[in-house]
Amino acid sequence: AQKVTQAQTEISVVEKEDVTLDCVYETRDTTYYLFWYKQPPSGELVFLIRRNSFDEQNEISGRYSWNFQKSTSSFNFTITASQVVDSAVYFCALSEPSWGAGSYQLTFGKGTKLSVIP
Amino acid sequence: DGGITQSPKYLFRKEGQNVTLSCEQNLNHDAMYWYRQDPGQGLRLIYYSQIVNDFQKGDIAEGYSVSREKKESFPLTVTSAQKNPTAFYLCASSPLGGSYEQYFGPGTRLTVT
């Protein structure tokens, strides 16, 4: 079973539409961290947000917002009023204790390719 | 500016040749990582290092080797034993601990024919 599932492989929206990218994770740990990264066509991953397992507050940053729900093991990402520059592949990732004392492993979902059409 | 550099951006090799990908960081991070990305796939961990002269295998280490002689450098060698070496390779670094985000380099696209 995948630890991080991004069920939407590709999404296309028209500019100014809102879009939500889904992320479902699986872990047995009580302490873990969730991340979203953006990968534009240039290839470099850009960090967007981090959330720890004890903080279920939703977060808004400009046109971006994140909804973390432990009850459904989901960490969804919404872009409001999408723009062409939002076109990219978005990855959700889970960091959980793995390799030994103080060590964590970061597991990525397969990504969602978002295309914003002008 | 602080960051991670990877060189070259594109690399072409003939089958059977070893090739080394460079990764340098000036962020003073202790941990460094190598990931492989195939089309339509997420990132898969090849190797990671938490301290100089020490490194651990990730999920897909077979056919790869690394060294960590300096804190700021973590080169990856793709050996001829790697059956499907053509891929996009990303290097990352972070402070130690799972709460920190990883910072990524621009990547190297390796094509082996």
Compute the average pLDDT of residues A76-91: 97
Predicted confidence band of residue B34 (pLDDT cuts 50, 70, 90): very high
What's the pLDDT score for residue A97?
76
- CA–CA separation, B61 vs A34, rounded Å? 25
What's the pLDDT score for residue A39?
96
Residue A11 tokens, joined: 């999404």
Predicted confidence band of residue A100 (pLDDT cuts 50, 70, 90): low
CA end-to-end span of chain A: 37
The answer to whether the CB of B78 falls within 8 A of the CB of B16 is no
Q: Collapsing DSSP states into helix, strand and coil, what is residue A10?
A: strand
For residue A44, what is the nearest residue in chain B, using CA coordinates? B106
Inter-chain touch B107–A95, beta carbons under 8 Å: no
Residues 35-54 of A with CB under 8 A from B: 35, 37, 42-47, 50, 52
Indicate whether B106 pLDDT > 60. Answer: yes
Contacting residues of B for A91, CB less than 8 Å apart = 42-43
Chains A, B: CB pairs < 8 Å: 57
Please provide the average confidence, as pLDDT, over all residues in chain A. Answer: 91
What's the pLDDT score for residue B39?
86
Closest to B17 in 3D by CA, of B97, B112, B95: B112
Pairing state of beta strands A59-61 and A64-69? antiparallel
Contacting residues of A for B7, CB less than 8 Å apart = none
